[in-house]
Chain A
Amino acid sequence: MSPSTSPSPESAVLIIPNIRAEIERAENMLLAAMSAHGYPDAARFAVRLALEESIVNAFRHGHKGLPADTPVRIEFTVWRDHVDLSIEDQGPGFKPADVPDPTLDENLERPTGRGLLLMRAYMARVEYVGRGNRVEMTYRRPPQTAGKPAA
């Protein structure tokens, strides 16, 4: 699809197991849809990072104690000016407030706990819904690139 044809929103629903190739397939589908809508490299970097972090959190933390083949559900819609995505695991839920601030001096040398920080830094909205097992995120295209085709 050419970015110059103002494509209609592109959506997908994927159910994926914790297999690297499947995670990359989901990421590549989303990145391809963003490219088709003319999102710049920085936007694709940001969304890929947020998706990666949320998927890893879902499998590592959400599915802790569940069978290894328990899948997560990924949904995304790429619009002209924003991207909606959600990642739902089958775990008991997550309370973001329980995650200590990794940027505090006393936590700087802790090797974990930065995924949520990065998701919040790059996304306009990060919200845990349901019992805390589904994260919904929105990326907003910076105004100066709205509607422009990819370089």
Chain B
Amino acid sequence: MATGSSRLRVKHERDITQVEFVDRNILDEANIQQIGEEIASLIDASPSPKLLINFSSVDHLSSAALGTLITINNKMKARKGQLRLANIDPQIYEVFKITKLDRLFSIHDNAEAAIASFT
């Protein structure tokens, strides 16, 4: 559940943290920075983080949002955590392909497939 002015909806299920975005458009730099900070806090809260970022509500994102996702990925790697992305709109998936970030991230069609991929 989102609390206060959080930009995220967060759900903890077993050892997996699932995150959805409040905003349909992840463009505003201040919001993107806040999203990065909130997810960083979630990563820090777990000794071996398993994080699923669900894009089901997202219509648009910018390269600044991609940058924050990369920073999150780097932090997860440093913590030996597991990061999964799911439910990415085809137009946004094209952005991942253009930037070749589809090679960097573990992207799944839906949350169920992403959850099943955690080890």
CB distance from A68 to the nearest CB of B (A): 13
Q: Are A115 and B91 in contact (CB under 8 A)?
A: no
State which size class the interface on A falls in. Answer: 20 to 34
Which chain B residues have a beta carbon within 8 Å of chain A's beta carbons?
27-30, 60, 62-64, 66-68, 70-71, 73-74, 91, 95, 98-101, 103-104
Across the interface, A103 reaches (CB within 8 A) one of B60, B67, B99, namely: B99
In the bound complex, CA of A118 to CA of B64 (Å): 12
Best-buried of A45, A114, A121 by chain B (most CB within 10 Å):
A114
Taking CB as reference atom, which chain A residue is nearest B97?
A121
In the bound complex, CA of A53 to CA of B28 (Å): 11
Scoring A residues 45 to 64 as 1 if CB is less than 8 Å from chain B, else 0, what string do you get? 10011001100100010000
Taking CB as reference atom, which chain B residue is nearest A60?
B29
CB distance from A120 to the nearest CB of B (A): 9
In the bound complex, CA of A12 to CA of B103 (Å): 39
CB distance from B26 to the nearest CB of A (A): 11
**How many contacting A-B pairs (Cβ < 8 A)?**
54
Taking CB as reference atom, which chain A residue is nearest B72?
A111
In the bound complex, CA of A111 to CA of B28 (Å): 16
Q: Are B104 and A115 in contact (CB under 8 A)?
A: no
Q: Which residues of B contact A110 (CB under 8 A)?
A: 70
Known: A110-B70, A121-B98. A45 touches B29 (CB 8 A): no
Taking CB as reference atom, which chain A residue is nearest B89?
A45
Taking CB as reference atom, which chain A residue is nearest B25?
A24
CB distance from B25 to the nearest CB of A (A): 9
Known: A109-B104, A117-B99. A45 touches B63 (CB 8 A): no
Q: Are A20 and B30 in contact (CB under 8 A)?
A: yes
Given contacts A108-B101, A118-B95, A118-B99, 6 further A-B contacts (CB under 8 A): A56-B63, A109-B73, A111-B68, A112-B63, A115-B62, A118-B98
